[in-house]
Structure 1
Amino acid sequence: MKPAVLVVDDEPSIADGLRLILEREGYAVDTAGSIAEGAACLDSQDFALALVDLVLPDGDGIGLLKLLRARDPDIEVIIMTGHGSISKAVEATKEGAFYFVAKPFDSGEMLTLLGKALERRLLLAETSDLKRQLAEQLGYGEMLGSSPGMRRVFELLDSVAASDANVFIVGESGTGKELAANAVHAKSPRAEGPLVKINCAALPKDLIESELFGHVKGAFTGATSEKPGLLEEAHKGSLLLDEISEMPPDLQAKLLRVLEDRSVRRLGGTRAVPVDFRLISSTNRDPDAAVRDGSLRQDLYFRINTVTVALPPLREKTQDIPLLAKGFLERFRLKHGRTVDGIDPEAFRRLLSYPWPGNVRELEHVIERAVLVARGKEITATDLPEALNAGAPVVSAGPPAGSLEEIERVSIVRALESTGWNKQAAAVILGLRRPTLYSKMRRHGIPQRRTT
């Protein structure tokens, strides 16, 4: 027996029609004609998925969506409407809807949507098991991090990598979107196939169509031979569309057709070439804002974001800075043949207090530069760019008042708090060896872990 589905629509012909279609496919189906009836159904049955009309007699379908998600965060909800609008679609997506589909729709389209929604539910349900496996992991692929935010990212990436689901990676420039895409591909069943990367912002607008779709001989001036496009080159592998919101809208429409038909037609050609690839997309913009201003097509957005992975900026995970800095230091020390093998406490204070507008990529460049200019065995504050030396130390200005014992205790707690309770980083800030820090923490009754 397939999972249970709740259909909420005040038009009996639609509700009963969907019930017959779904029951024929083996689903257990309950129907309701209002928010109140739909809520009552929840008391007697657990549903994997709900199909909800946007306009109901006793309220807005998005209100029922919120209720459903509050009762069961794992339920997938598809909103149906004969009054479609981008603002409502964006609102529904923000509240957790899987898809926003316009009436009328055909049964095949709806069954396909149900299958994809249930696939996502299954993928995300595996995350709880992965938490235990990844609890002590300090990295994923080429990505490093031990902060709670990055551990959640690693768990989500690992849960979706083994599937063929579309992945949408969102994050500021420099947060590691390409590394996340590399990791998803490397841990997927398509790892032996190609990973084709397309930067939609870097390709000239007059060349991007030819690059993506290929062309036949004579398709345009200068097309002296037939050439397959990058979409064909990704066959049996993965396709990364970086900065997808920068793709011209007309090409977004063509890409959507390729994703739906799984075939591509070269520029100037008539033959459809089958393609089979796993789509990974990324953007440094707010996707909802991109949909609102028209730079990202709404229908394409719904197609590419089966699973969205949001990468946190470095300023929100400062406890990862020591781990990242150490990793970059080791890499560039070996690359450039330098003897520098550490970072002094004052330089560490600068790294931890800087806001990092360029995120991990900026930190990487700063450490490489410091390795190249350092004159001693350690990177010092003078080896860092001027922007970092202009920042205030992360440990609070002014010494705490009280006895020497009280001052020492408060200073230790401040250093721990500034590093997200990373003992190694706190020891560096305080100018202590880590065993000495542990000893002082025990003497002052400071817990080993942050208390909530």
Structure 2
Amino acid sequence: MAESQTLQPGADPSLLLVDDDEAFLRRLSKAMEKRGFAVEMAGTVAEGKAIATSRPPAYAVVDLRLEDGNGLDVVEVLREARPDARIVVLTGYGAIATAVAAVKIGATDYLSKPADAADITNALLATGEDLPPPPENPMSADRVRWEHIQRVYELCDRNVSETARRLNMHRRTLQRILAKRSPR
């Protein structure tokens, strides 16, 4: 298990968690409170923006894809309200383009789900140019490939032929992949 850093005494412990997965949000909130953070939770982009505007936290963990929009909207509002905030963007759809967009608008780091509280804490508390240690159990290459295929499939409105064309893959091969369970 990765050893995580702890919040420095005297540091502003305010932390905003924005995620539409309620069970994950509650688990992460409890874990971060144990690490010394004062947690405020939001389940939508609208709630996240409201908290970022009225009570800008020192730290934030924002899911990229939320039911009511894009988590990067929350990152932008928070960056305007509190330029020194440390923000980690979380997503189940790790993609280089979204990682670049997140960092360009002010995210401190970008982690793929599933990320545990230790990985998130290390990313939030990394100082200067230090990179946080690599995750203890990152997604396998097969899982990353599967996630990418699923994302393109969803973006093509679950159209197998269009997805196969965009991925430059034979339609039957894609159908076999989609019929299988996700790799670990």
User: Which interval holds the TM-score relative to the shorter structure?
Assistant: 0.5 to 0.7
Distance, in Å, in 1 between the alignment partners of 2:48 and 2:74 is 8
Report the CA distance between 1:42 and its aligned residue: 2.9
Distance, in Å, in 1 between the alignment partners of 2:21 and 2:98 is 20
Look up the match of 1:70: 80
The AA in structure 1 aligned to 2:59 is L
Report the CA distance between 1:71 and its aligned residue: 1.6
Match of 2:16 among 6, 10, 31: 6
Report the CA distance between 1:260 and its aligned residue: 5.0
Give the secondary-structure state (helix, strand or coil) at the position aligned to 1:42: helix
Look up the match of 1:56: 66
1:87 equivalent in alignment to 2:63:
no
Report the CA distance between 1:22 and its aligned residue: 0.7
Report the CA distance between 1:108 and its aligned residue: 1.8
Distance, in Å, in 2 between the alignment partners of 1:46 and 1:63 is 14
Look up the match of 2:36: 26
Distance 1:79 1:67, change over 3 A: same
Distance 1:82 1:74, change over 3 A: same
Look up the match of 1:109: 119
TM-score by length of 1: 0.26
Report the CA distance between 1:106 and its aligned residue: 2.1
Distance, in Å, in 2 between the alignment partners of 1:113 and 1:16 is 19
RMSD of equivalent CA atoms: 2.3
Look up the match of 1:38: 48
Report the CA distance between 1:44 and its aligned residue: 4.3
Distance, in Å, in 1 between the alignment partners of 2:54 and 2:69 is 22
Report the CA distance between 1:43 and its aligned residue: 4.6
Look up the match of 1:350: none
Structure 1 spans left out of the alignment, 5+ residues? 121-164, 168-255, 262-452
Distance 1:35 1:92, change over 3 A: same
Count the aligned residue pairs: 125
User: Structure 2 matches for 1:195-344, cutoff 5 A?
Assistant: 260=134
Report the CA distance between 1:166 and its aligned residue: 3.7
Distance, in Å, in 2 between the alignment partners of 1:110 and 1:75 is 15
Give the secondary-structure state (helix, strand or coil) at the position aligned to 1:19: helix
User: Structure 2 matches for 1:336-415, cutoff 5 A?
Assistant: none
What percent of counterpart residues are identical?
35
Structure 2 spans left out of the alignment, 5+ residues? 1-9, 136-184
Matched-pair contact (CA < 8 Å) for 2:87–2:124: no
Distance, in Å, in 2 between the alignment partners of 1:260 and 1:20 is 23
TM-score by length of 2: 0.62
- The runs of at least 4 aligned residues of structure 1 exceeding 4 Å deviation read none
Distance 1:87 1:43, change over 3 A: closer
Distance, in Å, in 1 between the alignment partners of 2:54 and 2:39 is 13
